[in-house]
Amino acid sequence: MLVIKGGQVYDPINGINGETKDIWIEGGKIVESLGHIPQDVTVIDALGMIVMPGGIDIHAHIAGSKVNTGRKLCPEDHYEHFRMAKGGLRSGVGFTVPTTFLTGYKYAEMGYTTVVEAASAPIVTRHTYEELEDMPILDKAILITLGNNELLMDRIAMGEMDEARDLVAWLLKSAGGYGVKVVNPGGVENWKWGGNVTSWDDEVKYFNLSPRKITKALIKIADELGLPHPVHLHGINLGLPGSDITTAEIIKDACGRLHLCHLQFLSYGKDKKGRMCSGGSYIANLVNEHPNVTLDVGQIVFGNATTMTSDGPLEYRIQKMTGHKWCNDDVECETGGGIVPLEYKITSLSSAIQWITGMELFLLVKDPWSIALTTDHPNAGPFFCYPQIIRLLMDRDYRNYFISLLPPRAFRGSVLKDLDREYSLYEIAIITRAAQAKILGLANKGHLGIGADADVSIYAPENFGKRQCICRFKHCRRALDFPSWVIKGGEVVVKDGVVLNEVPSVVFRVVPSHDESIKDKIREEFEKYYTISFDNYPVQEDYLKNTKEVICG
């Protein structure tokens, strides 16, 4: 048994806002207080310290074929960023795309204990499982990409919605997935024929479908299956001026639960001269009016990044703009994608507008329970810069310092300079813990109530905001960095910001009920169009031995 004594607890799911409270842990769970402390209990003296549930990242790219290709494409990412093996721990390398060991260590050292791999095509999810198994400490989940799956689009186009629903359920079960990811629906399929989509009603070539029909069908299917997490949508026109208009259209049109990922990249306005500007205030106001919609921001961090996405035409466009090295691929019958390294420069007009857009979303969305802090790692910057973003949200003067460095033209149409909002610690606990758990449907995560998983982060106030970020700005300070203690599943894994040991973890998955006859119906199509045999397609049980099923309802 372990007791965290006398800390200032921030546990929004249970309505606890800085209350001095003891947290009791036994068997990897939060348990009721005994009222007295037996001699054999381990005590962590947290007097005056900040105590929160372990952090959760709802959207990151941390494992699988796409991430591994990014590591190979960018060896320079590894030269100066490495960690030697010591103390029984393993070595690792990488800055924007760390290796598996280092990813687990860096998240834990920041106080995070649960991370979602945001995009894995079902056909390559076996490899994603291999890398997640090799990633220490963190609990994980995988979202599988279905927005351009040809077998699924066939059924939606023919109106065979029962079969479409059964196919989605079978794909989730076969891939060991947790939720449905939709990336540029129909646009990636068109990219295989040299095209894309630019409106929700554009034709998806050869399928008599549109992005709108695909998205609405999957929203309906996710709700009918009772998936714990709603459809996780990367919309159309990402990165383009005017993307705020198409994003607004799908927000207004969604008839069920919908999560909009890295929304900053899809919230750019267009001024009268066709120039890019922030549409953050417009989109934030729409989110405020639609309680069925949640979002994560994808806030950019100035410095190096590695863009990687299943949105193949987007990566081609980035490569044409930058001239950087790149790769683009076609994942048979399911999706496509690409990778391009990138740098966000504080002197760059486009980078500044992107930064402003994200900040406006954070500060103008009224309900913190509908928003999650992310950088779409590594697309908008590395995940270990989250403490810098937290400082920007909590400290108006610090935010204004960064605002003063941006090109004045970046503020066309922006209201950021007029925003005085500062997040409280309670709100930070919501957007980094509680809201992420609720949006994901993980009932035992993101809180410190009785029965919750014993994942806890403890921060000393004297370390709050005093650590410098790894970037070129000397005033770049970080908040909720360098935790004094991190506890994962009841075990101490970090002390004074240093990883002590690795502990077992799980991968969450769903197994929705469905008509098993769907397998016989798709076997012939599968054998005709796929290079892998139907029987070898599902992830084998050996890969799933450390999974935990979350019940659909």
Give 184-203 as a 3 state SS string: CCCHHHHHCCCCCCCCCCCC
Pull the structure tokens for residue 323.
Answer: 């001239």
Task: Report the alpha-carbon distance of residue 157 to residue 239 in Å, rounded.
Answer: 28
82 within 8 A of 90, measured Cβ to Cβ: no
Q: What are phi and psi of 103, to 5 degrees?
A: -60, -50
Residues contacting residue 355 through CB under 8 Å, at least 6 positions apart: 299, 300, 302, 344, 402, 406
Task: Report the alpha-carbon distance of residue 163 to residue 170 in Å, rounded.
Answer: 10
Could you count the other beta carbons within 10 Å of the beta carbon of residue 45? 11
Could you count the other beta carbons within 10 Å of the beta carbon of residue 39? 4
Give per-residue burial for 118-151: e unless 16+ CB within 10 Å, then b. Answer: bbbbbbbbbbbbebbbebbbbbbbbbbbbbbbbb
The HSE-up count of residue 147 (CA atoms within 13 Å, CB side) is 32
- pLDDT tens-digit profile, the chain (553 residues): 999 999 999 999 999 999 999 999 999 999 999 888 888 899 999 999 999 999 999 999 999 999 999 999 999 988 888 899 988 899 999 999 999 999 999 999 999 999 999 999 999 999 999 999 999 999 999 999 999 999 999 999 999 999 999 999 999 999 999 999 999 999 999 999 999 999 999 999 999 999 999 999 999 999 999 999 999 999 999 999 999 999 999 999 999 999 999 999 999 999 999 999 999 999 999 999 999 999 999 999 999 999 999 999 999 999 999 999 999 989 999 999 999 999 999 999 999 999 999 999 999 999 999 999 999 999 999 999 999 999 999 999 999 999 999 999 999 999 999 999 999 999 999 999 999 999 999 999 999 999 999 999 999 987 665 555 544 444 556 788 889 999 999 999 999 989 999 999 999 999 999 999 999 999 999 989 999 999 999 999 999 999 999 999 8
Pull the structure tokens for residue 391.
Answer: 């400082």
Q: What are phi and psi of 534, to 5 degrees?
A: -60, -40
